[in-house]
Homo-oligomer: A and B are copies of this chain.
Amino acid sequence: MAPKTQTTALFLCLLICISTTSSTYGRKTQPRRPCKELVFYFHDILYLGYNPHNATAAIVASPKWGNKTAMAKPFNFGDLVVFDDPITLDNNLHSPPVGRAQGMYLYDQWSIYGAWLGFSFLFNSTDHVGTLNFAGADPLINKTRDISVIGGTGDFFMARGVATVSTDAFEGDVYFRLRVDIRLYECW
């Protein structure tokens, strides 16, 4: 190795060192390149008094002016819904579920439709074993909404990322289907 090459390599190395070191201080400079990408659909059938046998979700809290078998007016504000929804790989409600989406959504906008989501995906299949945990705002007026992947366990140990949620279908208050594009940026 010629001294000049060596010196060049040394400078290159120093440069990498410095940029790497600085990236571990507060501000990260990672490119926004996902380490894992997943797409799922989940299906929500709300209990509205007449459908106990196929409902997957139920209103459990509502404002003073609401009740548990109809969405509150206006804009469902104040309705808290608990759900246990099947997750599928495609947009067919009758496809074999690959997991369950479980948790809550909470309508929290007075002047448009919007919700706050806190839920988990639970997987126990040949493809995935583990959970992904989500939290974030779901302003339904937007075609796509980004929420946070705040953690994971099992195959998704310590995962963080962003999930892009879009309403793939809805039928009145009783049924909706969400498509969730998950991009993990921290994988372990």
A→B interface (CB under 8 Å): 1, 3, 6-7, 9-10, 12-14, 16-21, 23-28, 30-35, 47, 49, 56, 58-64, 66, 68-69, 77-80, 82-84, 100, 102-104, 106-111, 114, 116, 118-120, 122, 130-131, 133, 135-137, 139, 146-154, 157-158, 160-162, 184-188
Alpha-carbon distance between A7 and B2 when the two chains are bound, in angstroms: 10
Copies in the complex: 3
Q: Is the CB of A30 within 8 A of B26?
A: yes
Q: Which of B108, B147, B153 is the one whose CB lies under 8 Å from A83?
A: B108
User: A148: which B residues are within 8 A, CB to CB?
Assistant: 133, 150-153
Q: Is the CB of B137 within 8 A of A102?
A: yes
A23 (CB) vs chain B CBs: closest residue: B24
Q: Is the CB of A135 within 8 A of B150?
A: yes
User: A26: which B residues are within 8 A, CB to CB?
Assistant: 30-31, 33-35, 184-187
